[in-house]
Amino acid sequence: MILCTDVKGLRKLVKDTGKKGKTIGLVPTMGALHEGHISLITACSRENDLTIVSIFVNPVQFGPNEDFDQYPRDLSGDCQKAEAAGADIIFTPDAGSLYPGKDMTWVETTGDIVKVLCGRTRPIHFRGVTTIIAKLFNITMPDKAYFGQKDAQQVEVIRKMVNDLFFDVELHIMPIVREQDGLAKSSRNIYLNKEERQSALVLYKSLKCAQSLFLQGEKNLQTICSAVHDMIAAEPLGSIEYVEAYLLPGLIPANEEFNGRALVAVAVRFGTTRLIDNVILGE
Amino acid sequence: MILCTDVKGLRKLVKDTGKKGKTIGLVPTMGALHEGHISLITACSRENDLTIVSIFVNPVQFGPNEDFDQYPRDLSGDCQKAEAAGADIIFTPDAGSLYPGKDMTWVETTGDIVKVLCGRTRPIHFRGVTTIIAKLFNITMPDKAYFGQKDAQQVEVIRKMVNDLFFDVELHIMPIVREQDGLAKSSRNIYLNKEERQSALVLYKSLKCAQSLFLQGEKNLQTICSAVHDMIAAEPLGSIEYVEAYLLPGLIPANEEFNGRALVAVAVRFGTTRLIDNVILGE
């Protein structure tokens, strides 16, 4: 496995690979790799000749009061895990090489798709995400890129960016990986104390409840959201940021009964830790 | 020569070319091709295996009171000229395929680079330019792209976008092509009546004067701009929008005497027609 910190060096590796007719897969991460990331790397490695894992805690997707400084970092542990999962190249650029000055070129998706859900409290987040992903796509020229369904809104926004800007990359979205007790894997789970960790199980329980209601025939997303909301609200340590549901793809509001696929997504604080989770209803 | 209106079809042609190890050159235009464009196409054709000329009057780079509707269009004439100059593919997408909805993904360069010169009166112009160029780059995957020095600020903004977003494309900037009497070739020159056309010659004369002052040893850009301004102001039919000078690359202000290269750029209205022109001082 090659550890590459340098855009030029990576670009050369990428071009040499492309010239040989081989396929490139990209797994963009912020490090602190857990089994969710590993599932992306494993799939990428299985489906591509060259697997690039980027590890970069992207400053411009964090708001001023968010956890950029505290965000967990463990490069040597990450390298071991990524290599074991099949990574060929780890790309760890420094912020100065990706953002050399204060004036920059932003890639920004507009519309309700970035305003609902996490966009309500994280107004600059998705602009930061689309900008870094555009850079990584241009640097690594992937045939396929891998993202986790855990970040459901990110998936929809990146899908829109790819379509709007005609990036020639196939998006592969991998299912949420959970702890045995149902808590979705997240680099931020380490922030939770024991009581919060226990309390946070309500997220998965409430989403399972949404799934059950749907399977029992409930097709009104407001009704489903109310049930999820009530269940989480009954948990004293949780403070709800949102419980919302939208049609997929594109996060389209549905007032009446829905057909097709819908996303039910929640964001809840346990102490100072903000967790998100979601479930997709329908096929 | 192939006329292609369809993103998918073009992408297939591009991929087949890339797979054969051939190089692709892109000349993005808004049509109404004149000798300036032809010089770009000729250079592109000489330096690449496949020359793609895009013809698309990009709605999102026009302000609400600008000349989008009136902008000259002559597809059949353009095709003949482009083919004669060596174009292999003409790409003429419709607006709906490049901008399918009102919510879109913008590519936007920020900072003084888009606020000076034309940015003062055309606040959304460069966002429209960088967005369409990013789309065209992703669709055509060019090794080299050709732009005219006439649109000097556009060149600097696109250069910054390419650097910031790591587009893997070489920019080739071709010199301004002029009429025999010195008027810079422009698709908008056809708007001028006979008196305005004559009056507009002051642009080139004033920029030649800037060049002479510089060659005589003048290194203060304010002094040079004043001379250019006075010369144009003496022309009764011209109404000055700006006469400004900045260091290259990047359009950096220079208060004192400058070293290196500087751009002196003017925008002047003759009747309802807005013309721009410029000269580069230094090597």
Give the strand order in the sheet containing B24-29. B2-4, B89-91, B50-55, B24-29, B144-148, B170-174
Reading the block at residue A76, the tokens are 């040597």
**Rounded CA gap, B222 and A225, in Å?**
64
**Residue A179: inside a domain:** no
Q: What is the pLDDT of residue B56?
A: 98
**Residue A282: inside a domain:** no
Q: What is the pLDDT of residue B283?
A: 81
Q: Structurally, how many domains does chain A consist of?
A: 2
Is B92 in a helix, a strand, or coil?
A: coil
Query: Same domain for A202 and A245?
Result: yes
**Residue B182: inside a domain:** no
Query: Same domain for B272 and B210?
Result: yes
Q: What is the pLDDT of residue A170?
A: 98
Per-residue pLDDT of chain B (283 residues; tens, 9 = 90+): 999 999 999 999 999 887 788 999 999 999 999 999 999 999 999 999 999 999 999 999 999 999 999 999 999 999 999 999 999 999 999 999 999 999 999 999 999 999 999 999 999 999 999 999 999 999 999 999 999 999 999 999 999 999 999 999 999 999 999 999 999 999 999 999 999 999 999 999 999 999 999 999 999 999 999 999 999 999 999 999 999 999 999 999 988 788 899 999 999 999 999 999 999 999 8
Report, as an integer, the average pLDDT of A208-226.
97
Q: Is the pLDDT of residue A19 over 80?
A: no
Query: Same domain for A208 and A124?
Result: no
What is the percent of chain A with per-residue pLDDT over 70, rounded to a whole number?
A: 100
Structural domain ending residue among the three candidates A174, A200, A217:
A174
Query: Same domain for A128 and A236?
Result: no
Contacts of B112 in chain A (CB under 8 A): 103
Query: Same domain for A264 and A164?
Result: no
Query: Same domain for B114 and B209?
Result: no
Domain of residue A209 covers 187-277
8 Å CB contact of A106 and B111:
no
Q: What is the pLDDT of residue A255?
A: 80
Query: Same domain for B244 and B267?
Result: yes
Question: Any catalytic annotation for residue B37?
Answer: yes
Name the more confident of B20 and A174: A174
Query: Same domain for B9 and B91?
Result: yes
- Closest approach of A239 to chain B, Cα-based (Å): 32
Tell whether residue A149 is among the known ligand binding residues. Answer: yes
Query: Same domain for B158 and B66?
Result: yes
**Residue A182: inside a domain:** no
Q: What is the pLDDT of residue B256?
A: 78
Which residue in the set A7, A105, A139 is minimally distant from B107, CB to CB?
A105
> In A, what residues contact B, Cβ < 8 A?
7, 11, 19, 21, 100-113, 130, 134-135, 138-139, 141, 160-161, 164-168
8 Å CB contact of B160 and A107:
no
Q: What is the pLDDT of residue B17?
A: 87
pLDDT tier for residue A41 given thresholds of 50, 70 and 90: very high
**Residue B34: inside a domain:** yes
Binding-site entries of B for beta-alanine = 61
Query: Same domain for B72 and B149?
Result: yes
Q: Where residue A232 sits, what CATH number does that domain have?
A: 3.30.1300.10
**Rounded CA gap, B232 and B202, in Å?**
6
Contacts of B168 in chain A (CB under 8 A): 11, 138, 141
**Residue B135: inside a domain:** yes
Per-residue H/E/C for chain A: CEEECCHHHHHHHHHHHHHCCCCEEEEEECCCCCHHHHHHHHHHHHHCCEEEEEECCCHHHCCCCCCCCCCCCCHHHHHHHHHHHCCCEEECCCHHHHCCCCCCEEEEECCHHHCCHHHHCCCCHHHHHHHHHHHHHHHHCCCEEEEECCCHHHHHHHHHHHHHHCCCCEEEEECCCECCCCCECCHHHHHCCHHHHHHCHHHHHHHHHHHHHHHCCCCEHHHHHHHHHHHHHCCCCEEEEEEEEEEECCCECCCCECCCEEEEEEEEEECCEEEEEEEEECC
**Residue B133: inside a domain:** yes
pLDDT tier for residue A155 given thresholds of 50, 70 and 90: very high
Q: Where residue B129 sits, what CATH number does that domain have?
A: 3.40.50.620
Query: Same domain for B28 and B126?
Result: yes
Query: Same domain for A150 and A23?
Result: yes
Q: What is the pLDDT of residue B220?
A: 96
What is the rounded average pLDDT for all residues in chain A? 96
**Residue B181: inside a domain:** no
Structural domain ending residue among the three candidates B174, B199, B222:
B174
Structural domain ending residue among the three candidates B148, B174, B200:
B174
Q: Is the pLDDT of residue A89 over 80?
A: yes
8 Å CB contact of A168 and B112:
no
Q: What is the pLDDT of residue B122?
A: 96
